[in-house]
Chains A and B, each alone.
Chain A
Amino acid sequence: MVCIPLAYVTARARLPVRIAVKTLANLPLILPPSVLGFYLLVTLAPSSFIGHLLEGLLHVRFVFTFAGLVIGSVLFSLPLMFNPCMAGFENLSPTLEEVSYTLGKSRTRTLFSVLLPSIRPSLLTGVAMAFAHTMGEFGVVLMIGGKIPGKTLVASVAIYDYVETLNFPAAHAHAALLLLVSCVILVTVYLVNIIPVFSSGPPHRVR
């Protein structure tokens, strides 16, 4: 939801803007999760200006809550969705868009009927990878969520706690489940990209 418009606008922007947005969007990939989590914690805390503003305006508290987990996860997994979207838009032949305009179709119609379906494999890959990645994150959710059982304790952090308390059977169960789900997601992504209906490579040319 955040990445598609961001990538669409960025792919059409001037070079310095493109570089700036790509850098920012990819920071979560490079930064230690604890750094990202720390800055989020500091920025969103009720004592900070932004945190105070958000709590006043939206009546939502982001620190040690589920809402905070969502914000953290979106930022943390942003590159995994943004990069395929961006590559999809950049590699798309500009002719497709121009043809649609000369056929009398608006920009919005062109985006939804031509551009997004053309980069469908990239979108599917992005969604699946971002989902899988979110499931496996640790540092950010620990920092901003604070592992409150029943509220902000997620599977990856729970496993760490189980091991700490030597509760190996519970750790095994959680770990195996995460492993299984991750495998299923990856296999699905690769399968979907093989099926011709879903993958839309450039038209095969015979000259």
Chain B
Amino acid sequence: MLECTLSHTLHGSEGPINLSIDFAVNDGELIALYGKSGSGKTTILRMLAGLTKPDKGRIYVNGVCWLNTEQGINIAPQQRKTGLVFQDYGLFPFMTVRKNLEYGLGRGDDKSIVDSLLQTMGLRELARRHPNRLSGGQQQRVALARALAARPRMLLLDEALSALDPVMRSGLQNALEHTIKSVPVCTIMVSHDLAEIFRLSNKVLHIDNGKIIACGTPREVFKR
């Protein structure tokens, strides 16, 4: 279970925004962050991953403290292992698809997980290619597979399915649904796609100007 309270000043294009949020996610749950761009969604993911330090806040995962600014605790991203899938993928350009996935493995991890991920994500035929010879959707799948290969304690998806065509998207949503159910981690997904939110998420946080303005099941939040 993830519990967090975060407050941070963002310097957006329209002046500073005070980000102030408080939410909890249970293991196996998928929560969607919805809201217009520049409202602080990506920053929330970065703070959870440990890449951006909030001005003030606390993050507890299954009772373990990751961040507590009052006590001066801030665990490094390496120890958090959050499986963040970035908007621009961040694939290593000089490694093949397979090598990218293998990089996610820890020391002594079984390499067979890479084969099964390649299979699930429909990447088997592309395993020997380099990222610059893949389409946007294919790159996104590699990024997601790599994050999963590292056995993350939490999955953070920054519009991770946005570049996929509808067929592939649906297939990947199935795979994602399956993965989330099979590994007991919580997932936080930034998404603009209502169909995707309805399909995958248990809960939606509608964020505007750094604040949660609506929270609940997709049906409750989007009934208006």
Contact at A103–B92, with CB atoms within 8 Å?
no
**A103 contacts B146, CB within 8 Å?**
yes
Does B133 sit at the interface, judged by CB under 8 A?
Answer: yes
Contact between A203 and B94, CB atoms less than 8 A apart:
no
Q: Kindly identify, within residues 111 to 165 of chain B, every residue whose CB is under 8 Å from any CB belonging to chain A.
A: 130-137, 139, 146-147, 150, 152, 163
Interchain CB contact (< 8 A) of B90 among A93, A113, A200? A93
Whether A201 and B132, one on each chain, are in contact in the complex, defined by CB atoms closer than 8 angstroms, is yes
A59 contacts B by Cβ under 8 Å: no
Inter-chain CA distance A103–B88, complex, in Å, is 16
Q: Which residues of A contact B163 (CB under 8 A)?
A: 206-207
Contacting pair B84 A99 (CB below 8 A): yes
Q: Mark A80-109, 1 if CB is under 8 A from B, else 0.
A: 000000000000010110111111111000
- A117 interface contact, C-beta 8 A: yes
Which of A93, A98, A104, A203 sits near B131, CB closer than 8 Å?
A: A203
User: Across the interface, which residues of B come within 8 angstroms of A169, CB to CB?
Assistant: none
Q: How far, in whole Å, are A103 and B79 apart by their CA atoms in the complex?
A: 9
Knowing A103-B146, A207-B163, say if A96 contacts B78 (CB, 8 Å).
no
Instruction: Give the distance in Å from the alpha carbon of A23 to the alpha carbon of B139 in the complex.
Output: 39
Contacts of B78 in A (CB 8 A): 101-102, 104-106
A202 on the B face (CB < 8 A): yes
Q: Which residue of A lies closest to B52 (CB)?
A: A98
Q: Size range of the interface on B? A: 35 or more
Of all chain B residues, which has the CB nearest A207? B136
Bound CA span A190–B66, Å:
48
B94 with A117: CB separation less than 8 A:
yes
Whether B106 lies near A104 (C-beta < 8 A) is: yes
Residue of B91, B135, B150 near A104 (CB, 8 A) is B150
A120 CA to B134 CA, complexed, in Å:
21
The answer to whether A203 and B103 touch across the interface, beta carbons within 8 angstroms, is no
The docked-state distance in angstroms from the alpha carbon of A32 to that of B72 is 53
CA distance A155 to B132 in the complex (A): 44
A73 interface residue, CB < 8 Å from B?
Answer: no
User: Given A203-B131, A203-B139, A204-B132, do A101 and B77 touch, yes or no (CB 8 Å)?
Assistant: yes
Query: B136 — which chain A residues lie within 8 A by C-beta?
Result: 205-207
Residues of B within 8 A of A (CB): 49-51, 76-84, 86, 88-95, 103-104, 106, 130-137, 139, 146-147, 150, 152, 163
A binding-site residues for B, Cβ under 8 Å: 93, 95-96, 98-106, 113-114, 117-118, 120, 196, 200-207
A-B contact pairs, 17 of them (CB 8 A): A93-B90, A98-B77, A100-B103, A102-B81, A102-B84, A102-B152, A103-B103, A104-B78, A104-B150, A114-B103, A200-B93, A201-B132, A203-B89, A203-B91, A204-B133, A206-B135, A207-B136
Other than the given A101-B78, A102-B83, A117-B95, 18 more pairs (CB < 8 A) read A95-B86, A98-B77, A98-B84, A102-B77, A102-B78, A102-B80, A102-B82, A103-B81, A103-B146, A104-B81, A105-B78, A118-B94, A196-B130, A203-B89, A204-B132, A204-B133, A206-B137, A207-B163
